[in-house]
Amino acid sequence: NAGVMQNPRHLVRRRGQEARLRCSPMKGHSHVYWYRQLPEEGLKFMVYLQKENIIDESGMPKERFSAEFPKEGPSILRIQQVVRGDSAAYFCASSPQGGREKLFFGSGTQLSVL
């Protein structure tokens, strides 16, 4: 049973470009969470999704960031018009059900904005 798969592992973008980060949850998991780890800071919650639904996006920046988890395919975190401050490690986690259970994390995508 493969773990949470994130790709790419490393992504380099120039300012103003778009970044698309992908996350495939563990088999049987229908709940996906995105977290961001800025340099020298702890991981911070961004968004919680179930298939085709955004449950909680309270941690998402108001502009340029969006997330989806379609019926088929991976969850996508999209950052439009990236700026240097978006450089961070983005982690995806999944769980079989929402709530009081372990989250399983992927290896993350390191985004570098030049």
By the criterion CB under 8 A, which residues form the site for other proteins?
A: 4, 6, 31, 33, 35, 40-45, 48, 56, 58-59, 91, 93, 95, 98-108
107 near 43, Cβ under 8 Å? Answer: no
* Shortest CB 84 distance to other proteins, Å: 21
Task: Using the minimum distance from each CB to other proteins, give the nearer residue, 67 or 106.
Answer: 106
Count H helices, E strands: the chain? 0, 11
**Residues paired with 7 in a beta bridge:** 22
16 near 64, Cβ under 8 Å? Answer: no
| 62-71 contacts at long range (C-beta below 8 A, 24 or more positions apart) | 67/34, 69/32
Task: Using the minimum distance from each CB to other proteins, give the nearer residue, 48 or 69.
Answer: 48
* Shortest CB 110 distance to other proteins, Å: 8
* Shortest CB 3 distance to other proteins, Å: 8
Task: Using the minimum distance from each CB to other proteins, give the nearer residue, 8 or 16.
Answer: 8
